[in-house]
Amino acid sequence: MHVLVLLLQILVLFAVVMLHVAYATYFERKIIGHMQVRMGPMRVGWHGLLQPIADGIKSFFKEDIIPEQADRPIFLAAPIICLVAMLTSLAVLPFAPGWVLADINIGLIFILAMSSLSSYGVILAGWASNSKYTFLGGLRSMAQVISYEIAMGLSLVGVMMLSGTLNLSKIVEAQGTSFGGMYIFPQIIAFFVFCVAMLAETNRVPFDLPEAETELVSGYATEYSGMRYAMFFMAEYIGMIVMSAIGTICFLGGWNGPFTVPGVPFFWFVLKIYLFLFVFIWIRATLPRYRYDQLMELGWKLLIPLALANIALTGIVKAIIG
């Protein structure tokens, strides 16, 4: 019985997240379109509203090309690894008080572990395709993701010190309901480091070097087509949603807001996630891509020392104030 209830909850969560993924692509195209004084998708449905559905149907019916030189089993498994790792991170996110599938006490570590696992999918895809572009894309992605993962892990240490827990619901509760209680104010340095690392971890502009289309065609996903390609896409967008959720939970006070909206306990949480997603898209429309050596230098020479300094600062300030 318990399992059935869980399965039902998972189904609902999955449907909602997939809808968000589909319409995140729509809003991305629409927002970037308007920022570049274009209309974006307009043809399919009213103002192009059915475009993501049409895209989904199209990729479902597209031919599934498996290159003859590819390592078949790994090639077939790689997109599913990406998707499952990202999907699993959703289980520990608290959307509202008590609205969490798995209320585990190591939630933050679990998210970091899953985001590392999804990079396996990318590396394996690049390797198994046995093509030069995918190989370079996979290699770049590996080095980029592991470099920025350190910065991200260290930036969250400050949040752990303030809240004294790794449970995501308790981190939100520790911030209190007041506006000033959000960890973005005492942890502003960590928030900056987290935001930059978040963009790099999800392979978004300005750090989208693994799939830099002007030099690597489509990076690790070059040899993928149809539904398998769509799965990488889904994993990337679920990754954006998960990272936005972590930013919301750790720095922006999670489901707490200036006033409670009756009947919709997850109102503020979802609103803050949309804010993050909008900034993701806004940055994509504004910034050019980093060069690879600049990317590595930014990660290792700026973000890691900054995150370490933030830990030391937080420790000292907490020791003085008590």
Owner of token pair 């936005």: 244
Can you tell me which of 47, 103, 184, 306 binds other proteins, judged by CB under 8 A? 103
Q: How far is the CB of 124 from other proteins (least distance, A)?
A: 13
Length of the chain (residues): 322
Q: Decide if residue 7 touches other proteins (CB under 8 A).
A: yes
Q: How far is the CB of 133 from other proteins (least distance, A)?
A: 7
Can you tell me which of 118, 129, 202, 256 binds other proteins, judged by CB under 8 A? 129
State which of positions 287-306 bind other proteins (CB under 8 A): 292-293, 296-297, 300-301, 304-305
Q: Decide if residue 55 touches other proteins (CB under 8 A).
A: no
Would you tell me how many other CB atoms lie within 10 Å of the CB of residue 60? 10
State which of positions 191-250 bind other proteins (CB under 8 A): 217, 222-223, 226-228, 231
Q: Decide if residue 74 touches other proteins (CB under 8 A).
A: no
Can you tell me which of 26, 30, 51, 88 binds other proteins, judged by CB under 8 A? 88
Q: Which stretch binds other proteins (CB under 8 A): 46-54, 74-82, 182-190, 241-249?
A: 74-82
Total number of residues binding other proteins (CB under 8 A)? 79
Q: Binding pattern to other proteins, positions 142-181, x when CB under 8 A? A: xx--xx-xx--xx--xx-xx--xxx---------------
